């Protein structure tokens, strides 16, 4: 299982997950600007048609975020078949409509009927499969009532599993609680996500690491794990490189929203 981290918008992360044997790919949280405008220039890519393996030759695309995704799809020579959307907010789901238009047959999955271009609603505990990759759907309400996180692992593979947590869990923090109770959010963070294997890689929806760690330091000023992670994050920020993934085991050392248990 290969994960391509794609920074988009001001601080969002979009992901492309690749099954390296079948070359099938799944996108997570496809974003476009809230008021998308065509940008100067276009790119020409060879994106694979879902379920066929054939190309969309000479596909001229505006230089915008979902098309940045398709450029990577073409470069990796994979077949993009599915979009997994964590929640309905525009900065995680608005790109679905354009992708479905460009790639007929693309399947868009999520737990909330408000998700753009949704093909089918998922339920908590449902399992999907893409080649050797298994996906367990974990309902994690808190940021929104219909927020779904995705826990992925691969057959006969020594690589650690991964969770795509959207705005439920972020590096050293979590998303703001908008539609649910504090008790529901606690259950999502501590009892659902917090009990995944400690080696699980955490791929979150936003780059809020520095601010989260600065808050964590105020909560636990004597926590040396927070101090070390903050020092690391400042260096990464200076180099302008992504700070994902972390691991769940690391989060349990410095994320105050997991350490409340």
CA 176 to chain centre: 17
Amino acid 32: pLDDT: 79
CATH superfamily placement of domain 1-121: Ribonuclease Z/Hydroxyacylglutathione hydrolase-like (3.60.15.10)
- 67-111 residue pLDDT tens: 789 999 999 999 999 999 999 999 999 999 999 999 999 999 999
Among candidates 249, 248, 229, which has minimal Cα distance to 237? 229
pLDDT above 50: residue 129:
yes
pLDDT tens digit string along 137-174? 999 999 999 999 999 999 889 999 999 999 999 999 99
Q: Cα separation of 161 and 159, whole Å?
A: 7
Intrachain domains 1-121 and 123-261 with the same fold: yes
Decide if 217 contacts 223 (C-beta within 8 A). Answer: yes
Using pLDDT thresholds of 50, 70 and 90, give the confidence band for residue 35. low
> CB under 8 Å to 182, separation ≥6 — which residues?
none
CB 67 within 8 A of CB 43: yes
Given a cut of 70, whether residue 200 has pLDDT beyond it is yes
Please tell me the number of Cα atoms within 13 Å of 105 on its side-chain side.
9
CATH code for the part of the protein at 123-261: 3.60.15.10
Region of residue 61 (phi > 0: left; psi between -120 and 50: alpha; otherwise: beta): beta
pLDDT-derived band at 244, boundaries 50, 70, 90:
very high
Residue 167, pLDDT score: 96
- The ranges assigned to domains in the chain are 1-121, 123-261
Contact 156, 132 (CB under 8 A): yes
Q: How far apart are CA 37 and CA 72, in angstroms?
A: 21
Which residues are the active-site residues?
A: 87, 89, 91-92, 143, 167, 206
Q: For all residues of the chain together, what is the average pLDDT?
A: 90
Identify the H or E element spanning 58: strand 55-62
């Amino acid at each position: 299982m290969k994960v391509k981290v794609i920074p988009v918008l001001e601080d969002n992360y979009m992901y492309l997950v690749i099954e390296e044997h079948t070359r099938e790919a799944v996108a997570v949280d496809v974003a476009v600007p809230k008021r998308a405008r065509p940008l100067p220039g276009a790119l020409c890519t060879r994106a694979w048609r879902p379920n066929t393996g054939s190309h969309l030759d000479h596909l001229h695309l505006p230089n915008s975020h979902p098309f940045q995704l398709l450029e990577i799809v073409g470069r990796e020579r994979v077949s993009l078949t599915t979009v997994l959307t964590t929640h309905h907010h525009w900065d995680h789901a608005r790109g679905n409509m354009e992708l479905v238009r460009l790639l007929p047959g693309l399947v868009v999955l999520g737990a909330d009927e408000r998700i753009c271009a949704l093909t089918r609603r998922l339920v908590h505990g449902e399992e999907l499969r893409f080649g050797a990759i298994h996906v367990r759907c974990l309902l994690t309400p808190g940021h929104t009532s219909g927020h779904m996180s995705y826990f992925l692992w691969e057959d006969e593979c020594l690589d650690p599993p991964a969770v795509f947590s959207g705005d439920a869990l972020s590096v050293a923090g979590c998303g703001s609680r908008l539609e649910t109770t504090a008790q529901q959010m606690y259950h999502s963070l501590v009892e659902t996500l917090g009990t995944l294997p400690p080696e699980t890689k955490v791929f979150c929806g936003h780059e809020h690491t520095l601010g989260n760690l600065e808050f964590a330091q105020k909560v636990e000023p004597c926590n040396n794990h927070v101090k070390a992670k903050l020092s690391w994050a400042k260096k990464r920020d200076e180099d302008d490189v992504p700070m994902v993934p972390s691991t769940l085991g690391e989060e349990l050392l410095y994320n105050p929203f997991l350490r409340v248990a």
